[in-house]
Amino acid sequence: MQMEANHEEKRNASLNRALLILSCVLLSIGTCGSPLIMRLYFIHGGNRVWLSSWLQTGGWPIIFVPIALAYYHRRTTEGPSTKLFFMKLPLFIASAVIGLITGFDDYLYAYGVARLPVSTSSLIIAAQLAFTALFAFLLVKQKFTSYSTNAVVLLTIGAAVLGLNTSADRPKGESDKEYIAGFFMTVAAAALYGFVLPLVELTYKKAKQTITYALVLEIQLVMCLFATIFCTVGMLINNDFKVIPREARNFGLGEGTYYVVLVLTAIVGQTFFLGAIGIIFCASSLLSGIVIAVLLPITEILAVIFYHEKFQAEKGVALALSLWGFVSYFYGEIKYSKQRENEKKNEKEKEKETEIEKKDTPETADVSQLDP
């Protein structure tokens, strides 16, 4: 019985590790790909900020695919009585509220990408890690080790180093007013999403039902649905739906490419959100923020390659600091996970020793019963 429990525990740990790796891959694709594709839209003639923000979560029907696969797997193992959806009303309401906040954050971020080069917007978004660490401490009582603290400091310094020479990347023809507005919108987007990540983790902890990955997918579905509804209202007010055909005809890369860019933006946007919530489920919101921060210098390099943006020495220093912070965090996690495993083993050994001592101790008779 004990062996079966240990085998099940190891199996669950392996599955959790595999899911964490998959989530990191998805988040990497979303973090690096999303700003590049969005910037491609704006560079070649696109100027609809609400449309761009809508696309970040507009691919939410894609989530039905893994939900359907998970349901099919449950039917084969548990029978036809299994549920298609597990979400209860309180969790649905919480997910809807977070979705509306995410929709507003999408608009802030899209506005910044429209006004700033990828290199500049990415470095500002790196400040999100500091906000994530703060809100994780306040909302979910995130415990910091010396390694995680070191990682946060290094990644934050990396973002600051990138900010030393942003004026050289200012787009031609951009007014000071537009640039400053884009700058502050992006800062607001970083702060707000730094709040959203721990809020999702808090929702997991406060939910009065077992949180499985199937349920995490449902939460993501509801969040993206309501974020899309929020942005749809903005598009309707701004008449974006009417402008799309004309904008497609005038797009610099051609009408067909215009629609390909829109579809890719929606797909890559979903990889970002699925990766982020997957890491929160497997580990913590802080790790999710750290992965996003460490990938931003890589986004910088990709922007240099594809959009020929300048790669100053500051970007090289920021990349080195980010990788250092990333290694520091995971080294600490590996060290503390081994420490926790050793503690569990010691506890089990003590329990076994206690049981053996109880068995070896002879039962003493009640003295009162021996009195003649």
Q: Is the pLDDT of residue 336 over 80?
A: no
User: From CA 184, how far away is CA 323, in angstroms rounded?
Assistant: 27
Confidence (pLDDT) at 327: 78
User: From CA 358, how far away is CA 310, in angstroms rounded?
Assistant: 73
Q: What is the pLDDT of residues 54-89, one digit of tens each?
A: 999 999 999 999 888 888 888 888 878 788 888 999
**Band of pLDDT at residue 367, cut at 50, 70 and 90:** very low
User: From CA 155, how far away is CA 330, in angstroms rounded?
Assistant: 14
Question: Of 148, 147, 116, which Cα lies nearest the Cα of 132?
Answer: 148
Q: What is the pTM of this model?
A: 0.78
Share of the chain above pLDDT 70, in %: 87
Confirm if 309 and 169 have CB atoms less than 8 A apart: yes
Q: Using the structure block, give the residue that is written with the tokens 């590996």.
A: 334
Confirm if 241 and 235 have CB atoms less than 8 A apart: yes
Task: Read off the pLDDT of each residue in 160-189 and give the average, rounded to a whole number.
Answer: 74
Q: What sign for the dihedral angle of Cα 39, 41, 44, 48?
A: negative
User: From CA 248, how far away is CA 240, in angstroms rounded?
Assistant: 12
Q: Using the structure block, give the residue that is written with the tokens 């998970």.
A: 70
Q: Is the pLDDT of residue 16 over 50?
A: yes
Task: At 169, list the tokens.
Answer: 């990347």
Task: Read off the pLDDT of each residue in 39-66 and give the average, rounded to a whole number.
Answer: 92
User: From CA 81, how far away is CA 179, in angstroms rounded?
Assistant: 57
Phi, psi angle pair for 182, to nearest 5°:
-65, -40
Q: Is the pLDDT of residue 281 over 90?
A: no
CB atoms within 10 A of CB 243: 14
Those residues with Cβ within 8 angstroms of residue 29's Cβ, 6 or more apart along the chain or in another chain: 268, 271, 272, 275
Confirm if 314 and 164 have CB atoms less than 8 A apart: yes
Confirm if 306 and 36 have CB atoms less than 8 A apart: yes
Task: Read off the pLDDT of each residue in 264-284 and give the average, rounded to a whole number.
Answer: 90
CB atoms within 10 A of CB 350: 10
Q: Is the pLDDT of residue 104 over 80?
A: yes
Q: Is the pLDDT of residue 319 over 80?
A: no
User: From CA 120, how far away is CA 100, in angstroms rounded?
Assistant: 26
